[in-house]
Amino acid sequence: MTPCGHCQGRGHVRSVSTETFDLIREIRRCAVMTGQKSLTVKLRDDLLAYLQTEEAELMRQVVDQLNLKIEFKPTSLKTEMLHEAAFEVILN
């Protein structure tokens, strides 16, 4: 957890790595529960960058394992708005 910029450090927000792992779990859950093979994921720029660098191999494994096509789209949310949801998975 990192100090929250929204509440001037009185609370904590989830780290980029935690949000990324939550996103990967949500992608898996959506794909398995619905059988959907195509997903659109709207996410913050910082999560997309982390996913494409630090967790690129894990994401490739998930895509290959579940035979998914995932389109990533940036959202208008910025790091300053961390009290908002970090991502949204949309079934195509």
Sequence spans of domains, the chain: 16-91
Q: Supply the pLDDT for residue 74.
A: 86
pLDDT tens digits, 40-70? 999 988 899 999 999 999 999 999 999 999 9
**Among the residues of the chain, which ranges form H helices?**
16-34, 45-53, 56-66
Q: Supply the pLDDT for residue 35.
A: 93
Query: Options 3.40.1260.20, 3.90.226.10, 3.20.190.10, 3.40.1160.10; which CATH number does 16-91 get?
Result: 3.40.1260.20
Judged against a pLDDT cut of 90, whether residue 13 lies above it is answered with no
User: In the structure encoding, which two tokens stand for residue 20, read together?
Assistant: 């990324």
Q: Supply the pLDDT for residue 15.
A: 86
